[in-house]
Amino acid sequence: MADLLSLSSFLFSIITFFFFYFLSVHGDNSTQSSITQINYDLYHSSRNLMDEIKEMVHRHSDRLSMEKVKAGNKGYSAEIAVVTYCKGKKDSAENPKLRILLSFGQHGRELITSELAFRIMSILSEEKHLPGMDEASLNSILDKVVIKVVPMENINGRKLVEGGDLCERRNGRGVDLNRNWSVDWGKKEKDYDPYEENPGIAPFSEPESQIMRKLAVSFEPHIWVNVHSGMEALFMPYDHKNTTPDGLPLQQMKSLLEEVNQLHCQKRCMIGSGGGSVGYFAHGTATDFMYDVVRVPMAFTFEIYGDVTAPSSDCFKMFNPTDLASYNSVLDDWSAAFFTIFKLGPHQLGEIQSKASVVKLDKLVSIDEYLDGYLMERRNRYGKKIEVLELGMQEIRAYYRLFLLSSVLLLCMFCSRISKTKCSRPIVSAISL
Ligand SMILES: [Zn+2]
């Protein structure tokens, strides 16, 4: 009996030992594997990507061009590359084209978005083939558009990610570039986290946002898409409140998004206003500014990929596909989605143009003030009327001041005449009183 007891306690000790040993080994592995590193077999480094884009533009100078725009303040500077696609005749009054502005990589950790930019440019240059699209159809679509692509809006933030800070989404000095725009800027929700959403010290405090604002105001796009990752969604304005625009703009945007969802997202994508669908309000976003201030008729934020099973500390996995099959499927699906937008967009051009001509007349009121920033904050979609009224008031004030000044001068002249004739007092002393 004693032997039996000692044997069973020996066995129990061995089982316990192996149990804890297995647990400790497994535990270590799970900690190590919970942080996925950037897979450079799939992804370009930021430097490689920009070099490859530059070479591609050189190879196709008949349709692609690239400019680099720099800005900076307080010891911080940023540079943004903008690639323009325009084939054949240039956009003009006689030859109007649909103007499309696309931005990728606004958040450093969302590497897949810049890969998509590269894929779209490869198809535009015809170095890559878009499945299901023959050359003639592609050319007829692309003759009607001018496309500006910002492949990596936040290159400084992206470099921090490549340096090992895999969860960084902000720019090189800790500001979230999608909270630094002037529409409803700076408002903070209860769960505000400065590591995620720091809006900066003022609207457009950041060089990257200043560059993007100038680009949008000068280009006047008909379509704007801000491309992100973290989930699968097709958002329209507004991000800062739980409503969408109404009437024709809503119909135009909604029908386009529904088509994209059906054709390229297998109806998985969430559609609606950013603020109403994502579960939180975002204040000071680029898309709300594009719609409200630049008056882009169709302004969107696309979320192209998200791994909801990834732990929140495993940012590379949460925001980017980690295996070849899902990497390719995201790029195939979403590049096709963008070409559907290029194809369907011109069908609405007539309607958009009549709307745009009204906007252009509207914009005759001081473009410098428009760029200045202060007035922007006070504007909404109907804010232009307020500004016109304000200009009227300024004129009345100026006339009133002129009237007062001439009255004083007349009074002085009158006094001087009296003083000369009666008591010879100098004019200066009369004004100084
Ligand atoms: Zn993002």
* Ligand 1 centroid from CA 303, angstroms: 8
- 3-state SS assignment for residue 222: coil
Q: How far is the CA of 376 from the centre of ligand 1 (A)?
A: 24
User: Can you give the pLDDT at residue 380?
Assistant: 36
Distance 170 CA to ligand 1 centre (A): 9
Is residue 192 in some structural domain? yes
pLDDT digit string (tens) for the chain, length 433 residues: 445 445 555 555 555 444 444 444 344 344 445 799 999 999 999 999 999 999 999 999 999 999 999 999 999 999 999 999 999 888 888 888 999 999 999 999 999 999 999 999 999 999 999 988 888 989 999 999 999 999 999 999 999 999 999 999 999 999 999 999 999 999 999 889 988 999 999 999 999 999 999 999 999 999 999 999 999 999 999 999 999 998 888 888 999 999 999 999 999 999 999 998 888 899 999 999 999 999 999 999 999 999 999 999 999 999 999 999 999 999 999 999 999 999 998 776 566 555 555 444 344 333 333 333 333 333 333 333 333 333 334 444 545 565 666 666 666 565 555 444 443 333 333 334 3
Residue 78 C-alpha to ligand 1 middle, in angstroms? 19
Q: Is residue 253 domain-shared with residue 109, that is, in the same domain? A: yes
The residues, ordered by sequence, that sit 6+ positions from 33 with a Cβ below 8 Å of its Cβ are none
Distance separating alpha carbons of residues 243 and 236, to the nearest angstrom? 10
Q: Which residues contact 264 (CB under 8 A, 6 or more apart)?
A: 333, 334, 336, 337, 340
**How many structural domains is the chain composed of?**
2
pLDDT of 417:
56
CA of 424 to the centre of ligand 1 (A): 79
Q: Burial, 29: exposed, middle or buried (Cβ in 10 Å; 0-12, 13-18, 19+)?
A: exposed
Residue where a domain terminates, one of 332, 354, 374: 374
State in Å: Cα 110 to ligand 1 middle: 7
Asked if 170 and 218 sit in the same domain, the reply is yes
Q: What angle do CA 26, 110, 265 make, to 5 degrees?
A: 95
- In this predicted structure, what is the pLDDT of residue 413? 64
Sequence-ordered alpha helix ranges (H) in 205-314: 207-219, 247-264, 274-277, 286-292
Q: Are 144 and 138 in contact (CB under 8 A)?
A: no
CA of 233 to the centre of ligand 1 (A): 12
**How many Å apart are CA 373 and CA 181, to the nearest integer?**
10
Expressed in angstroms and rounded, the spacing between residue 335 Cα and the centre of ligand 1 is: 18
- Contact yes or no for 83/121 (Cβ under 8 A): yes
| Residue 270, domain CATH | 3.40.630.10
Is residue 14 in a domain? no
Q: Same structural domain for residues 291 and 428?
A: no
149 Cα: distance to centroid of ligand 1 (angstroms): 17
Structural domain containing residue 310 = 46-374
Tell whether 290 and 403 lie within a shared domain. no
Summary count for the chain: helices (H), strands (E)? 17, 8
Distance (angstroms) between ligand 1 centre and the Cα of 27 equals 31
Last residue in a domain, options 356, 374, 392: 374
98 lies in some domain: yes
Q: Are residues 51 and 116 in the same domain?
A: yes
Neighbours of ion ligand 1 (CB under 5 A): 107, 228
Looking at residue 248, its pLDDT comes to 85
Phi, psi of 248 (to 5 degrees): -60, -45
User: Are 348 and 314 contained in the same domain?
Assistant: yes
126 located within any domain: yes
Please check whether residues 265 and 315 belong to one and the same domain. yes
Q: Is 38 among the domain residues?
A: no
Q: Distance between terminal CA atoms of the chain?
A: 122
* Within a domain: 13: no
Q: What was the pLDDT predicted at 216?
A: 98
Q: Are residues 421 and 304 in the same domain?
A: no
Quick count: other Cβ atoms within 10 Å of Cβ 228? 25
Q: Is residue 267 domain-shared with residue 391, that is, in the same domain?
A: no
Question: What's the gap in Å between 228 CA and the centre of ligand 1?
Answer: 4
Q: Is the residue at 268 inside a domain?
A: yes
Specify whether 230 is located in the same domain as 368.
yes
| Residue 285 Cα to ligand 1 middle (Å) | 11
Give me ligand 1 centre to Cα 61, in Å: 31
207 and 78 in a common domain: yes
Distance 230 CA to ligand 1 centre (A): 7
What does each C-alpha distance from 186 to 72, 78, 286, 318, 321 come to in angstroms? Answer: 21, 22, 13, 27, 32
Q: Which residues contact 421 (CB under 8 A, 6 or more apart)?
A: none
In a domain, 104, yes or no: yes
**Residue 115 Cα to ligand 1 middle (Å):** 14
Task: State in Å: Cα 321 to ligand 1 middle.
Answer: 15
Q: Which amino acid is at 58?
A: H
Is residue 267 domain-shared with residue 416, that is, in the same domain?
Answer: no
Query: d(Cα 220, Cα 128) in Å, to the nearest integer?
Result: 29
The span from the CA of 307 to the CA of 112, in Å, is: 13
Residue at which a domain ends, from 374, 395, 410: 374
